[in-house]
Structure 1
Amino acid sequence: MATTAVRCVAAGASAQALRQTGGYGGGVGPGRTSKVQMASSVMGTKLEVRGSGSLKSAVSHRHSFLVKASATEAPAAQVELSAEQEELLQRRKAIMEAEQQSSGFVVTEVETTEPQNWYSAKVMGVSDVAAGVRCITLMTEVSRELVPLENAYVKPGNIAQIRLDGKELTAVPSSPPFSMKINMPVLYKLRGDIPAGMIKLPQFSLSVKAPVEIHVEEASNPELYTVSEGQELEVGPYLQTAGLDLRPILTLSRFPTIVFFARGRGLAVARAIVEAIDGDVGSMSLSFREEVRLFCSASKPSELAYQEKFADWESRSVKVRATVDDAAGEEWQGAVGSFRSLWDEDDLEYDPNTTAAIVCVEEESRKELTELLEEAGIPKEQILSWKF
């Protein structure tokens, strides 16, 4: 028999129930002990309330009562739906199922367990995005009920902690933070929809598995680079200190122009922002900006990651400008040179006071961009810099 415990504070309307049992202004006075028993059918569940202590005191001092609900003690209420209501219900279920399938996440019931930091994950795909760089897709736990907010991937640039064969590794997610709608079933469940003054203790948890793509370089992460599809590993808390807080530059009217500078692993962070759905987690609502440019760089053309996605980014109103340090021996139609030469040759017209910059580069490029943005007149408070 399934049983759920809830807490009910006796006050207000409860006083009437207590008076009916002789506990308030009746035969039970202060200092005497009595018990209250009430039976009520709530959503097809029989409730039994037990309380002890002075009932008059219980009302005036809001003592607590333990409520036990048994799903098998009372028959569930039968609700008859009209043909139109039944059709609407089935249509809603179909929409929810279609949305879940299209979003790639799965919601299942699991036994309630104590919160933990590490959850199993499965490698769903491995693809090469540049020479020595792979994009690895993991199906991982993202339920708000199981993964606390402080451990979740909620900001572009958060670092994923991964445990492989007992060794703890780190990697940069290249896909956007998990969409809000993924956790909607969990949040609705946690909300509870129960009477005021009662706290439900759930008997089960909702597990939500969703894909996340991580950027892995062979040179810095050889163990993770060699994983294969179907392999099992663990994903732990995301490091929040590395995440970008986009709030200072979110206002559309204040910053109609956004410029990105990305190189190396920073290009994965830029991708996570560019591909975020407008209005969702990690989004800069780029399609609503007047001008968005992404300046990216690599040592040589074969090492420039995500080139196959540039056309898609352009369709999202993001103009991509790419350069390489040296194109010798490789086919390359783009610019050759530094960030500075790429910036100087671009036709961007901007107002420094209404332009915000997001810098996602490795340490060796940071000094160059600091000087470039200072000369461009963009105030420091309008510049967000990601550091790994």
Structure 2
Amino acid sequence: RQKMARGVRTTRAMAAAAPTTTTGAMMAGHPSRRSRGPKAFRRSIPSCGISSGGARDCWSACRALADPAGAGAADASEVVDELKKLKQEKLERAGKYRAKVAGTETPEWTGARVVAARELLPKLREVVLEVETSRELVSLRNSYCAAGKLAQLKVKGSDALALTPASAPFAPEAQHGPLLKLRGDLTAGQTKLPEDPIEVKQRLSVLVTPDDGDHVYTLSPDTSGVEVGPFLGAGLNLRKIRSVYNYPTVILLAEGQGIGTAKALIEGGMDVRYRESVTLFYKVPHQESVAFAEEQQQWLDQYGVRTVVHTESFLDAFDDDELLEYHPEATAVISLGGEEAERGAEELCEDAEIGTHIRASEEMQEMHYADTGR
């Protein structure tokens, strides 16, 4: 043991006395491995917002910053610029997958295709369009989401026309895929790659008359250049009668183009299937001027809505109907078709002591949207 200790001391003395040897140069001229690690530089360099992967990529840059005496001013400037560039790229990648407010950066007018057109009455036609409803391409404020809204239509760059929809509001269930994509959600096995917007085509039925112009009244499947714009209005104010238990009985009074809104309510704008009794009183000038005559039996079979076509006043038709049973406090009346229909509904409500009257002219409260707060 004494010999081994003397040998170690001799070796150390030789290394100290002869630093020009290879072993001595390695031991005397370089710091230890611990002092050369990234932790030593990390303590002496201020934070620059670079992730661990970015720090490894710019290791040489960090060494230059830690030892400014060994690097020139030009090299230090290049290092700072490189770090700023890496940080900016990181911010851009983070914003690429941030959730966006749906449809706010898309055009307000979208192309539509005429699917069918038919004559309901001598001066009334129904035009069925295939329109885009994807929430990626059409914002909620511009969509047909409530019965009572008016559709805007252009044909080959003409002035916009407001038309009455005769179909149910677009089903929100169809927006499942676009909304997941807008939120930035990923399904199993999906990667974050650029993708085209998800298209959701749905049918829209509108009523047109000769007063709307020949270019609209004569629309056919061969017509091109049709555009649909933002829907006007906020829709019927049905919040008061949303509860099917408080208002199990609903009476619809329709006249003129109000039959289109009544059709929209029956087919999806109101929970008619869950109510005890829903009756439609449809006032016409004469028995030959009945629109949607073929659909009335379908409304009864699928939705339980009974239709009473009459030529007299709403009150007379109400009194003559022997099948309708109601309680005034649990009954709501909805008038559709203009001022004359509203006056007839007021007369009926006063005589039948019904206190709830929903008018088409009274829209529901405007919605507040997240992107603007308006």
TM category (shorter chain) comes to: 0.5 to 0.7
Could you give the per-residue CA deviations for residues 127-170 of structure 1, whole angstroms, max 9, x where no partner exists?
11222111101111111111110000001111000012322111
1:374 to 320, 329, 350: 350
Contact 2:155/2:216 (CA < 8 Å) preserved in 1? yes
Could you give the per-residue CA deviations for residues 202-240 of structure 1, whole angstroms, max 9, x where no partner exists?
653222222111111234554411111131211000002
Pairs within 5 Å for 1:10-159: 27-28=42-43, 31-33=46-48, 35-38=50-53, 65-66=90-91, 68=93, 114-159=105-150
TM-superposed CA distance for 1:29, in Å, is 5.8
Q: Which residue is 1:239 aligned to?
A: 232
Q: Which residue is 1:73 aligned to?
A: none
1:271 to 260, 263, 270: 263
1:188 lines up with 2:180 in the alignment? yes
Unpaired runs of 5+ residues, structure 2, are: 1-36, 55-81, 95-102, 187-191, 363-374
Pairs within 5 Å for 1:261-340: 261-276=253-268, 282=269, 284-315=270-301, 316-324=303-311, 337-340=312-315
TM-superposed CA distance for 1:30, in Å, is 7.6
User: By percentage of residues, which structure has more strand?
Assistant: 1
Q: What is the CA RMSD across the aligned residues, in angstroms?
A: 3.1
Unpaired runs of 5+ residues, structure 1, are: 1-20, 40-50, 70-111, 195-199, 277-281, 325-336
Q: Measured at CA, do residues 262 and 37 of structure 1 come closer, stay the same or move farther in structure 2, by a change above 3 Å? A: same
Contact 1:156/1:176 (CA < 8 Å) preserved in 2? yes
Amino acid at match of 1:157: G
Q: What CA distance in whole angstroms lies between the structure 2 residues aligned with 1:22 and 1:246?
A: 67
Q: Which residue is 1:254 aligned to?
A: 246
Q: Which moved more, 1:286-295 or 1:358-367?
A: 358-367
Q: Measured at CA, do residues 214 and 22 of structure 1 come closer, stay the same or move farther in structure 2, by a change above 3 Å? A: farther
Q: Measured at CA, do residues 202 and 301 of structure 1 come closer, stay the same or move farther in structure 2, by a change above 3 Å? A: farther
Amino acid at match of 1:235: V
Identical positions, percent:
31
Q: Which residue is 1:102 aligned to?
A: none
Could you give the per-residue CA deviations for residues 310-344 of structure 1, whole angstroms, max 9, x where no partner exists?
101111211111112xxxxxxxxxxxx22121011
TM-superposed CA distance for 1:201, in Å, is 9.8
Amino acid at match of 1:375: D
Could you give the per-residue CA deviations for residues 20-64 of structure 1, whole angstroms, max 9, x where no partner exists?
x979x982468453632539xxxxxxxxxxx968xxxx9xxxx99
Q: Which moved more, 1:29-38 or 1:128-137?
A: 29-38
User: By percentage of residues, which structure has more helix?
Assistant: 2
Contact 1:357/1:383 (CA < 8 Å) preserved in 2? yes
Q: What CA distance in whole angstroms lies between the structure 2 residues aligned with 1:222 and 1:202?
A: 44
TM-score, normalised by the number of residues in structure 2: 0.68
Task: Give the number of the structure whose alpha-carbon radius of gyration is greater.
Answer: 2
Q: Measured at CA, do residues 343 and 167 of structure 1 come closer, stay the same or move farther in structure 2, by a change above 3 Å? A: same
Q: Which moved more, 1:214-223 or 1:251-260?
A: 214-223
Q: Measured at CA, do residues 297 and 223 of structure 1 come closer, stay the same or move farther in structure 2, by a change above 3 Å? A: farther
